[in-house]
Amino acid sequence: MARSKTRRWMDAECAQLSALADEFFTREAVPRAAKWEAQRHVDREFWTLAGGVGLLSCSVPTEFGGSGGSVAHDLAVIDAQARVTDYAFGGAVHSGVVTHYLLDYGTDEQKRRWLPSMVTGETVGAIALTEPDAGSDLKALRTRAVRDGDDWVLDGSKTFITNGSIADLVVVAAVTEPGAGSRGISLFLVDARVPGFTVTRVLDKIGQHGSDTSELSFVGVRLPASALLGEPGRGFAMMMEQLPQERLFAGVMAVGAMTQAVALTVDYTSQRRAFGAPLSDLQNTRFEVAECATLTEVARTFVDDAIVRHLDDSLDLAAAAMVKLWTTDVQGQVVDRCLQLFGGYGYMREYPIGRLWVDARAQRIYGGSNEIMKELITRSLLPTPARRG
């Protein structure tokens, strides 16, 4: 298990929570990982276990059933999860994304309905933005919500939805004013029990097998006016406001995975013998470990600085894109180099390093692909090219 480090954005309470999360995931998640991989989802029991010890939606105020923490507390939990286990548990989406949409845009009634049970794990949250024909291009959504009296009627489909098959609450992006572009998108809080909502299938991914990622269908889903999150037509703006934080979580998970990979490699190469001596005696092994540990420390410092800026409300869209782009790229490099030192055993899924390697690949895709991150960064530096044709 990777060693926990107190970070400069952590106060004493955050550090204590990090230690609690470290111990919890080691005790409760690691032994269940094989079962989750086989069934392609995390047991609901685990969600309530995590909620019971205060590891879900830590930012929720006490008046809505939470502990009154901040996003730093949510980050401390996800950091511990990434250092100890894999991506099976969709806590980052639940606590770091869905919870904050409710906190920042929800009405008092919406918060009182959903947040207390999100804290306990009785309600699992998901967010449905991506569609089969609209990946990182959120302006190309086809899902529609049409007014019918006081209600909205929702039709469309979503894909690549984390927690999709087990979610009780899904934040759904839909076009409410066709032809209005980004100003015609709204967000809705969809109760998964509503008629017309279907989990079409759980997707068969190449990695992150324990985490359910699903396709969702909405056919004539009738929603009350109270299901609208925030103001109509502000959905795209709300997503743009929230995406920097989501990308910061991706950076935290990348650093955690790198930390875990280096720790696993140090342990393995110290015990595995080749040519009559431990692998760790070979100069190539020592240099590779040194470089991977250095890259991990640089990434940690980069992410910690971004977290401090985020807590000060000074992390902008381009800076968050830089964090997501660089840390997830480096994550792939570090984990791959660590796997190489395991030889043939690194290619076996029974070894955690193999799972870390294949699980890391999605980090450069979700939350906005890394190519999109480059475009966002460039837009902050250079004029946008004129469109041709």
State the pTM of this model.
Answer: 0.91
Q: How many CB atoms lie within 10 A of CB 291?
A: 13
Last residue of a domain, one of 202, 233, 264: 233
Say if CB 299 and CB 258 are below 8 A apart.
Answer: yes
Residue 294 and residue 207: Cα distance in Å, rounded?
26
Question: Are 154 and 275 in the same domain?
Answer: no
How many domains, the chain? 3
User: 114 in a domain, yes or no?
Assistant: yes
Question: Are 101 and 219 in the same domain?
Answer: no
User: 179 in a domain, yes or no?
Assistant: yes
Q: Which CATH number characterizes residue 266's domain?
A: 1.20.140.10
Question: Are 140 and 229 in the same domain?
Answer: yes
User: 270 in a domain, yes or no?
Assistant: yes
Residue 1 and residue 123: Cα distance in Å, rounded?
30
Question: Are 221 and 258 in the same domain?
Answer: no
User: 384 in a domain, yes or no?
Assistant: no
pLDDT in tens, the chain (389 residues): 455 566 889 999 999 999 999 999 999 999 998 899 889 899 999 999 999 999 999 999 999 999 999 999 999 999 999 999 877 889 999 999 999 999 999 999 999 999 999 999 999 999 999 998 776 667 789 999 999 999 999 999 999 999 999 999 999 999 999 989 889 999 999 999 999 999 999 999 999 988 899 999 999 999 999 999 999 999 999 999 998 899 999 999 999 999 999 999 999 999 999 888 899 999 999 999 999 999 999 999 999 999 999 999 999 999 999 999 999 999 999 999 999 999 999 999 889 999 999 999 999 998 889 999 999 999 999 987 876 54
User: 5 in a domain, yes or no?
Assistant: no
Q: How many CB atoms lie within 10 A of CB 388?
A: 4
Say if CB 91 and CB 55 are below 8 A apart.
Answer: yes
User: 389 in a domain, yes or no?
Assistant: no
| Closest-CA residue to 163 (of 123, 221, 112, 217) | 123
Angle value at C-alpha 163, between 159 and 168, nearest 5 degrees:
105
User: 58 in a domain, yes or no?
Assistant: yes
Residue with tokens 């006081």: 150
Three-class secondary structure of residue 179 per DSSP = coil
Last residue of a domain, one of 123, 158, 176: 123
Question: Are 202 and 69 in the same domain?
Answer: no
The catalytically annotated residue of 246, 288, 350, 375 is: 246
User: 388 in a domain, yes or no?
Assistant: no
Catalytic residue flag (residue 246): yes
Last residue of a domain, one of 173, 198, 233: 233
Question: Are 241 and 367 in the same domain?
Answer: yes
Range of the domain at 34: 12-123
Question: Are 295 and 162 in the same domain?
Answer: no
The pLDDT tens digits of the residues spanning 197-251 come to 999 999 999 999 888 999 999 999 999 999 999 999 999 999 999 988 999 999 9
Question: Are 115 and 132 in the same domain?
Answer: no
Question: Are 242 and 372 in the same domain?
Answer: yes
Question: Are 318 and 336 in the same domain?
Answer: yes
Tokens read off for 201: 């299938």
End-to-end CA distance of the chain: 55
Question: Are 298 and 252 in the same domain?
Answer: yes
Question: Are 227 and 298 in the same domain?
Answer: no
